Amino acid sequence: MAKSIPKVSGMDWIVEQLSQQEIEPDEFTAEMISNKTKATRSSVHHRLKRMRESGELTSRKISLNGTTVSVYKRATPSA
């Protein structure tokens, strides 16, 4: 028999979506790279976007300090 998935109310779901999410140890933001390299955030953002489009990086959106930001990590090489 298949497992039933518990239903989550709309309110619980949106609270979970809007709450602070964590950056994993292997993830980074454009701002983190900009601070480390002293490059402008705009140039870092564009470079990360190109790397994501070429498959070198993956990204996801999270809520961080009330702001939606993209976090990036190195793509897992395909076998």
pLDDT digits (tens, 9 = 90+) for 52-67: 999 999 999 988 877 8
Fold of the domain spanning 25-74: Arc Repressor Mutant, subunit A (1.10.10)
Q: What angle is formed at CA 75 by the lines to CA 73 and CA 79, rounded to 5 degrees?
A: 155
CA 30/CA 25 separation, integer angstroms: 15
Sequence ranges of the domains in the chain: 25-74
Q: Which amino acid is at 44?
A: V
CA 9/CA 12 separation, integer angstroms: 5
Round the CA-based radius of gyration of the chain to a whole number and report it: 16
CA 59/CA 70 separation, integer angstroms: 6
Please tell me the pTM assigned to this model: 0.71
pLDDT digits (tens, 9 = 90+) for 13-43: 777 766 667 889 999 999 999 999 999 999 9
